[in-house]
Amino acid sequence: MPRYALLPNVTGDYTMHPNVQELMRQIQALEDEIEQEVRHRREELRADFEQRAVQFEAVVAEQQRRFKAGLLNYVLSAELRHVVTIPVIFMLLFPMLLLDAVVCLYQALCFPLYGIARVRRRNYWSADRSHLPYLNLIEKVNCAYCSYANGLAAFFREVAARTEQYWCPIKNARRNRQPHSRYGEFADFGDGEAYRHELQALRKALGDLKKEQG
């Protein structure tokens, strides 16, 4: 069994090992299956997601409003532990905005020089929960904040993953419990031969992402 994920083809270039290709196909199939299940659930809720706006049909929306907590009652019934931590939670917005700006600047300046396809920032945010009729204003603000924070984390993770694939595509010696999507293609830890063989091919693959993204 070959020790590394990419193998030379007849032209001398390196291609992904068939076993890895099959595993990647299985992962993609599972992701597609999950998306189909989510889409089916959306249809059950009779929701319309066209043009990125979620507008529940009148009957469903009226039913959902029955679960909406009144704003005044929501504030008055808030737990003390939640109230006292509000400033701590929202003070994180400032470093997140700074991180967002720095990451955007970094990839705008460096990725073109490296030949890496830029990560599309808009693909990592979704504001659809603001349309849910059973959420009051404060809950919608909280949802928007969490969506931004997690979207930023996912955006940063993909930028960092592509950077790692360009500069250091080597698996760790210890198990990585939540590896990013590009980690499986990296060379095995301690396999110097595979690293040297695969490095240029892995870098080229980052440029090929431009074609996939259109």
Domain boundaries, the chain: 69-213
* Alpha-carbon span 207 to 205, nearest angstrom: 5
| pLDDT, mean over the chain | 82
Annotate 151-181 with b (16+ C-beta within 10 A) or e (fewer). bbeebbebbebbbebbeebbbeeeeeeeeee
Indicate the length of the chain as a whole number.
Answer: 214
Q: Which residue ranges in the chain fall short of pLDDT 70?
A: 1-18, 42, 44-63, 65, 67, 211-214
* Alpha-carbon span 207 to 212, nearest angstrom: 10
What is the per-residue pLDDT for 175? Answer: 87
Beta bridge partners of 85: none
What is the per-residue pLDDT for 156? Answer: 97
What is the per-residue pLDDT for 131? Answer: 79
